[in-house]
Amino acid sequence: MTQTRRSIHLAERPKGKPTDANFRLEEHPLADPGDGEVAIRVIWLSLDPYMRGRMDAGPSYADPVPVDGVMTGQTVGEVIASNADGFAAGDIVTGATGWVSHAVMDAKELRKLDPSLAPVQSALGVLGMPGMTAWTGLTDIMEQREGETIAISAATGAVGSVAGQIAKARGCRVIGIAGGPEKCAFATDTLGFDACIDHHAMTDGKAMAEALAKAAPDGIDGYFENVGGKTLAGIIPNMAEGGRIAVCGMVAWYSGDNLSEGLPLPVLWRTILTRRLRVRGFIVMDHYDRFDAFVSDVAPLVRSGKLHYREDVTDGLENAPAAFMDMLTGGNFGKALVRVGPDA
């Protein structure tokens, strides 16, 4: 094909926080699609915290990106040439193309989107993996019940904002934890949470525990864990007896910093025992058999405008590394996306 394929590669593994030196932009001619394949022009790239884990070599639930390999990632794009039944130029699709401007993919690895149902990039956010993560964590992992007090960290982010709004729609009292007064005002005024604690204003886990004790005097029944760090240290002493924690992520610790902010293990373990807590980790990809149930529950809330979602858009594939590094330390306000090309 005549198109040039731009791609962002893992140039070297990060030591601690990622830096520009860990990424490299390359340009190559785009291959022609073979049998059963389609060529795609990428429109939207999703930036997600899990990508930090894929940059490391250690064992995890998924293989690491090899050094010099294309950074892994989910995109939405337009089919520009098709050699596959059921796909035609102009179709809008989503799939794991990686951080690229164009891709040739096996059509079996793609899902077609209906652009008349919702903005296509919502397939990377509220109606995609992050939304599914929020719904699964609350519904199947935490097993949240009406009337409970639920705390959610990274409360204005892609996962947290959806989790909190679903919990509100189900009659819970929701306490968000977010970074900065602007994000906290958004959590209460726009997302409808009952309270929000600014973790930047908390010196340590003790200060966080005191603020949470005021916001949840009867204790926290369910905690949707996204961050770890001093937030988790403040949550644990406030968990109500029989409370449940859905362990979704721990972004404060992904680059190996903030490690001293955790609770001592004996304190954590004793609290789990004496308060009869249930702590359960989950990886959303194990739960995709529930995707239709998620969509039928959440899509009506999105369509009716009851569920708000905010996007943080960076223009240009070449700016993806900077936006990604920014997201890992709270620079994003809403679902982190890169606009790689113009809308269809």
Ligand X SMILES: NC(=O)c1ccc[n+]([C@@H]2O[C@H](COP(=O)([O-])OP(=O)(O)OC[C@H]3O[C@@H](n4cnc5c(N)ncnc54)[C@H](OP(=O)(O)O)[C@@H]3O)[C@@H](O)[C@H]2O)c1
Q: Which residues bind ligand X (CB under 6 A)?
A: 48-50, 130, 133, 154, 156-160, 178-179, 183, 199, 226-227, 229, 231, 248-249, 251-252, 258, 282-284, 327, 329-330, 332, 336
Residue 82 vs 94, nearer CB to ligand X = 94
Residue 82 vs 139, nearer CB to ligand X = 139
Closest alpha carbon to 46 in 316, 338, 333 = 338
Residue 139 vs 226, nearer CB to ligand X = 226
* Chain centroid, CA 108 distance in Å: 24
Residue 17 vs 275, nearer CB to ligand X = 17
Cβ 31 to ligand X shortest distance, Å: 31
Cβ 166 to ligand X shortest distance, Å: 14
Dmax over Cα atoms in the chain, in whole Å?
66
Residue 6 vs 230, nearer CB to ligand X = 230
Cβ 43 to ligand X shortest distance, Å: 19
Residue 33 vs 73, nearer CB to ligand X = 73
Residue-wise burial string across 105-138, b where 16 or more C-beta atoms lie within 10 A, e elsewhere: bebeebeebeeeebbbbbbbbbbbbbbbbbbbbb
Residue 229 CA: distances (Å) to CA of 199, 252, 264, 303: 10, 6, 12, 35
CA–CA distance, 177 with 157 (Å, rounded to integer): 11
Cβ 1 to ligand X shortest distance, Å: 33
The answer to whether the CB of 224 falls within 8 A of the CB of 152 is yes
Residue 33 vs 128, nearer CB to ligand X = 128
The DSSP letter of residue 317 is G
The DSSP letter of residue 327 is H
Residue 253 CA: distances (Å) to CA of 12, 138, 259, 265: 20, 22, 6, 16
Cβ 134 to ligand X shortest distance, Å: 8
Cβ 124 to ligand X shortest distance, Å: 10
Cβ 266 to ligand X shortest distance, Å: 23
User: Alpha helices, DSSP H only, in 122-277?
Assistant: 129-136, 158-169, 181-189, 205-215, 229-235, 265-274
